[in-house]
Structure 1
Amino acid sequence: MSRNIIITGAGGNLGSAVVEKFKREGYHIIALLHPGKNHEVEEADDSYEVDVTDEAAVADFIKEYHLQYGDVDALAFLVGGFAMGGIADTSQADLEKMFNLNFFSAFHLVKGFLPVMKKQGKGTFLFVGARPALQMKDAKETLAYALSKKLIISLAEIVGEETNDTPIRSHVFVPSIIDTPPNRESMPEADFSKWVRADEIAEAMHYAVNTHSLQNMTFKLYGEV
């Protein structure tokens, strides 16, 4: 029987690493890509263009999933965005943008697939937090980003409470700076060797999905920064 994992943001830097890891481990990869971005994920078994910040679009995908697939073993929520700005520099529009990218991109899928996991009696949600959501000294200059990621961490905890004493699990992965080409370009003087690699996060996600004794964990992947 196929082990199905849905990966949002599969065409991104972290997404590519997660796709590669789970594909290598024998999973059936269902990649969700943003419409119009022309991303291709060669290692994905199936790809869908879905705006995961759009509640109706996600609902349509879930209906299609029910028609095409059986159970879902895991969902990895990798869509996200980053923005600088403290309280004085942050507008309502800034908050809404970060909430859409970092919170609603996961919430709509959680809402749709949590009943599926409850019915099948298994499943793992893989959320991506951020260090500024846990360390307020890092949040001062990234207010909208930090608040949106704080919502993600809270959502993961609430899902964990709702599925307590069941095989359904809700894990959060909290990286510091991820070693990606855009981050290297924006911080060319940094010591990249101290950053966390995307493949390390992918390894942690695979470990969490396949270690059933782990219940609702927060994985801090801070590298040496």
Structure 2
Amino acid sequence: MSRNIIITGAGGNLGSAVVEKFKREGYHIIALLHPGKNLEVEEADDSYEVDVTDEKAVAEFIKEYHLQYGEVDAMAFLVGGFAMGGIADTRQEDLEKMLNLNFFSAFHLVKGFMPIMKKQDKGTFLFVGARPALQNEDAREALAYALSKKMLISLAEIVGEETKNTPIRSHVFVPSIIDTPPNREAMPDDDFSKWVRPDEIAEAMHYAVNTHSLQNMTFKLYGQV
């Protein structure tokens, strides 16, 4: 019987590493890609173009998924975005953009798949937080980003409370700077060897999914930064 994992943002730098790891470990990969960007994930078994920030689009996908696959073993929420700006520079539209990308992109799927996981009595949610959401000194210059990630981490914790004493688990992965081409371009003078590699996050996610004694953990992947 195949093990199904849904991966949002599967075409991104972190997404590619997570797809590769779970594919190598024998999972059936269902990749969710943003509509209209013509992205392809060669290692995915199935791909769907879904705007995960759109509640109705997600609801339609969930109906389709339930008919096609039935059960789901894990879900990795990798869609996200970053923006600089302190209190004085942050507008409502900045907050709304970050909330859409970093919070609602996971919330709609959690809401829709929670009943499925409860019915099947298993499943793992994998959330990606950010260090500024845990350390306020890092949040000062990226307020909208930090607040949206704080909400995401709170969602993961509430999900963990709701599914307490069940086989359903909710894990959060909190990286510092991820070693990706865009980050290297933005910070060319930094020491990239101190950053967190996408494959290290992917390894941690696979470990969390397959170590059933771990219940609702927060993994801090700070590298040497």
SS at match of 1:126: strand
SS at match of 1:178: coil
Alignment-derived partner of residue 83 in structure 1? 83
Aligned partner letter, 2:96: E
- Summarize deviations over 1:18-53 as a string: whole Å, max 9, x none: 000000000000000000111100000000000000
Looking at structure 1, the residues matched to 219 and 211 of structure 2 have their Cα atoms a distance apart, in angstroms, of 13
Segments of structure 1 that go 5 or more residues without pairing to the other structure are none
1:70 Cα deviation (Å)?
Answer: 2.3
The alignment status of 1:214 with 2:191, answered yes or no, reads: no
Looking at structure 1, the residues matched to 141 and 112 of structure 2 have their Cα atoms a distance apart, in angstroms, of 34
Looking at structure 2, the residues matched to 70 and 111 of structure 1 have their Cα atoms a distance apart, in angstroms, of 16
Looking at structure 1, the residues matched to 176 and 33 of structure 2 have their Cα atoms a distance apart, in angstroms, of 24
SS at match of 1:17: helix
Moved over 3 A (4+): none
CA RMSD of aligned residues (A): 0.3
Looking at structure 2, the residues matched to 198 and 37 of structure 1 have their Cα atoms a distance apart, in angstroms, of 22
Looking at structure 2, the residues matched to 5 and 89 of structure 1 have their Cα atoms a distance apart, in angstroms, of 39
Looking at structure 1, the residues matched to 7 and 111 of structure 2 have their Cα atoms a distance apart, in angstroms, of 16
Aligned partner letter, 1:207: Y
SS at match of 1:179: coil
Looking at structure 1, the residues matched to 4 and 112 of structure 2 have their Cα atoms a distance apart, in angstroms, of 16
Looking at structure 2, the residues matched to 143 and 98 of structure 1 have their Cα atoms a distance apart, in angstroms, of 10
TM-score w.r.t. length of structure 2? 1.00
SS at match of 1:170: strand
Looking at structure 2, the residues matched to 173 and 37 of structure 1 have their Cα atoms a distance apart, in angstroms, of 27
Identity of aligned residues (%): 89
1:113-128 aligned within 5 A: 113-128=113-128
Looking at structure 1, the residues matched to 6 and 66 of structure 2 have their Cα atoms a distance apart, in angstroms, of 13
Looking at structure 2, the residues matched to 39 and 183 of structure 1 have their Cα atoms a distance apart, in angstroms, of 20
Alignment-derived partner of residue 181 in structure 1? 181
Alignment-derived partner of residue 38 in structure 2? 38
Alignment-derived partner of residue 142 in structure 2? 142
- Summarize deviations over 1:105-129 as a string: whole Å, max 9, x none: 0000000000000000000000000
SS at match of 1:141: coil
1:55 Cα deviation (Å)?
Answer: 0.1
1:104 Cα deviation (Å)?
Answer: 0.1
- Summarize deviations over 1:189-209 as a string: whole Å, max 9, x none: 000000000000000000000
Looking at structure 2, the residues matched to 90 and 38 of structure 1 have their Cα atoms a distance apart, in angstroms, of 32
Aligned partner letter, 1:104: F
Aligned residues: 225
Looking at structure 1, the residues matched to 155 and 58 of structure 2 have their Cα atoms a distance apart, in angstroms, of 18
TM-score w.r.t. length of structure 1? 1.00
Looking at structure 2, the residues matched to 45 and 32 of structure 1 have their Cα atoms a distance apart, in angstroms, of 11
Alignment-derived partner of residue 60 in structure 1? 60
SS at match of 1:125: strand
